[in-house]
Amino acid sequence: MSQMPPRLPDTNMIDHASAPATMNSPMPAAVPVRGRFITFEGIDGAGKSSQIAAVVALLQAAGLDVDQTREPGGTALGERLRELLLHEPMHLETEAMLMFAARREHLAARIEPALAAGRWVVCDRFSDATFAYQVGGRGLDRAKFDALEAWVHPGLQPDLTLVFDLDPAVAAARVASTGADPDRFEREQHDFFERVRAAYLERACLAPLRICVVDAARTPEVIRADIERIVRERLLS
Ligand code: TYD
């Protein structure tokens, strides 16, 4: 019977930590420090979009690698689900489950890998939006939201969430002034946005260390200075 050749070690199996470093065995690559996850929230027309770019620029100026994304969306599949969610009439539970389906994909394909590689993720909306719009606005059973959230991202929450708070009448006027065709959510009435706003504020009370409520009735310059201060104090100091 022929003798088997000695098995070469699988490089993935080498225990770099206990092997002495020599010219031929380089030191193990440092594990990157996990990135931070920042989300922006608020009713339609609250003005968060124009402030996201400012925060991304601030983080990049601090030397950080930043991945800017949005929900629903952020992946090829998520963007297709976004089209359905924004334009196709559906049952409210279908809507909630599709929001979380898009989120599951987004987390697996983009958010988690970025954070693990040390990149910072800045996301336009996340699960607080489902709490505000589907639970608060549409009346989805709270226990069903809790179950979906616990299923899709157990143990993960943003490191910082900025909720742009604004009177729905002012926000609606801003949305109307863009002249763009309103989507299914933007076509909702004033009392829907009152409920969404109240749900965001309730959520902020439940997680005061994570969620910062930003008064979005002020000028863009004042809001920008305020959120830059919050990001510096909470995450960069
Ligand atoms: P957004 O991208 O903020 O809208 P726009 O591009 O018009 O500024 O969000 C899209 C819509 O999706 C918004 O009306 C809120 C809604 N939405 C929910 O209802 N639930 C969710 O979980 C998310 C992420 C968004």
152 CA distance to ligand 1 middle (Å): 18
For a mutational test of ligand 1's pocket, the pick from 69, 125, 130, i.e. the residue with the most ligand atoms closer than 8 A to its C-beta, is: 125
1 CA distance to ligand 1 middle (Å): 68
143 part of a folded domain:
yes
190 part of a folded domain:
yes
Residue that is written with structure tokens 């489902």 in the block: 130
> Rounded distance, CA 44 to CA 33, Å?
34
Atom of ligand 1 nearest to the CA of 72: 24
Q: Which residue(s) pair with 41 in the sheet?
A: 163
112 part of a folded domain:
yes
Task: Give the closest residue (by CA) to ligand 1 atom 7.
Answer: 44
61 part of a folded domain:
yes
> Rounded distance, CA 16 to CA 8, Å?
16
Atom of ligand 1 nearest to the CA of 130: 22
Given a cut of 50, is residue 161 above it in pLDDT?
Answer: yes
Domain that holds residue 193: 34-236
In 3D space, the residue among 206, 106, 122 whose CA is nearest the CA of residue 160 turns out to be 122
**CATH code of the domain in which 140 resides:** 3.40.50.300
88 CA distance to ligand 1 middle (Å): 14
Q: By CB neighbour count within 10 A (0-12 exposed, 13-18 middle, 19+ buried), where does 112 fall?
A: middle
Measured between alpha carbons, how far is residue 105 from residues 81, 150, 153 in Å? 11, 15, 11
pLDDT band at 25 (very low <50, low <70, confident <90, very high): low
Q: Model confidence over 174-192: pLDDT tens digits?
A: 999 999 999 999 999 999 9
Contacts of 14 (CB under 8 A, 6+ apart): 25
91 part of a folded domain:
yes
Measured between alpha carbons, how far is residue 133 from residues 8, 22, 32, 200 in Å? 57, 58, 36, 9
95 lines ligand 1 (CB under 6 A): no
| Structure token pair of residue 138 | 């549409």
The mean predicted confidence, pLDDT, of the chain is: 91
Looking at the structure of the chain, the number of domains it has is 1
Q: Model confidence over 34-79: pLDDT tens digits?
A: 999 999 999 999 999 889 999 999 999 999 999 999 999 999 999 9
72 part of a folded domain:
yes
What is the SS3 assignment for 103?
A: helix
170 part of a folded domain:
yes
106 part of a folded domain:
yes
| Structure token pair of residue 168 | 């729905």
129 lines ligand 1 (CB under 6 A): yes
Give the CA count within 13 Å in the CB-facing half-sphere of 108.
10
3-state helix, strand, coil in the chain (%, to 5): 50, 10, 40
